[in-house]
Amino acid sequence: MPAAFRVTIGVMDGAALHVIFDIAAWLAAGIAGLWLSRIRGLTFPSQSTELRYLAVLVFSAGLGAYLFGTLNLWLSGVPGIARSVEGALAGGIVGIELYKWRNGIALRTGARFALPLAIGIAVGRIGCFLAGLGDFTYGTPTAWPWGHDFGDGIMRHPVQLYESAAMGAFAMFYLVAAIRPIRFVIQNGFYLALGFYGLQRFIWEFFKPYGAVFGALTLFHLLSLAILIYAVVMLATAPLAKVVHERAIA
């Protein structure tokens, strides 16, 4: 079999696996959301399930995903179009905050998305890892024993698995908080998830081959800092009133 044909087949397999894990990530996130509301009996602000709210969230997240993903490609000297989960988070945050400001909604509406977000990223990043070089989410070369060859003969940091493990750990932390339950974590879980995501993502960016835009910092370094700062501000100004509560189960 010609080498070029084998490479093409490998890329197709990686792309297919990525799609499979993208679907699995959405399913896992959906199951997590159902578990919180149906089994744990947690209730969240109803605004976050309204059709207009969800439409704005999906549109702005999609726009951010492709805008920042593609911009990072260009800044790294790689032509093409790409999408980014961090870009989706940033786009979703901006879109929803503008929507709430436009409609006079002062209530914080992200609490229901904390666990689905963490689990979705943890599962989805496995797909990025299996997609190989074509996904452009691999790490820089390393001599560390857990380095991975993505198909070009170079051992690289499996940064996708670093992120998957980190967000999986946060998901476990949140699960414990939901079972006990720890009110502060449940009420502010979305901002805790965002803050943790921004922090761990900032660290992993030092192990990626992306083009720098400010000193040694890449576009996603700066975006990670912005998300982290947003989360810290929201946590520091969290209202005392309970916006999430657990229904009594007879």
Predicted confidence (pLDDT) per residue in 204-237, tens digit: 999 999 999 999 999 999 999 999 999 999 999 9
How would you classify residue 77: left for phi > 0, otherwise alpha for psi between -120 and 50, otherwise beta? left
Q: How many domains does the chain divide into? A: 1
pTM of structure: 0.89
Whether residue 163 is contained in a domain is answered as yes
In a domain, 24, yes or no: no
Q: Is residue 2 part of a domain?
A: no
Which amino acid type is present at position 93?
A: I
186 domain residue, yes or no? yes
Is there a contact between 227 and 64 (Cβ–Cβ < 8 Å)? no
User: 3-state DSSP: the chain helix, strand, coil percent, rounded to 5?
Assistant: 70, 5, 25
- Is the CB of residue 28 less than 8 Å from the CB of residue 120? yes
Q: What is the pLDDT of residue 247?
A: 44
Residue 81 lies in a domain: yes
* Residue 194 belongs to a domain: yes
Q: Is 168 a member of any domain?
A: yes
Residue with tokens 């965002």: 194
The string of pLDDT tens digits covering residues 161-204 is: 999 999 999 999 999 999 998 999 999 999 999 999 999 999 99
Task: Report whether the peptide linkage leading into residue 181 is cis, meaning its omega lies within 30 degrees of zero.
Answer: yes
Residue-range definition of the domain harbouring residue 145: 33-246
Answer yes or no: is 22 within a domain.
no
Cα→Cα distances 196→90, 134, 231, Å: 14, 27, 9
Q: What is the pLDDT of residue 240?
A: 60
pLDDT tens string 89-141: 999 999 999 999 999 999 999 999 999 999 999 999 999 999 999 889 999 99
pLDDT band, very low/low/confident/very high, at 5 (cuts 50, 70, 90): very low
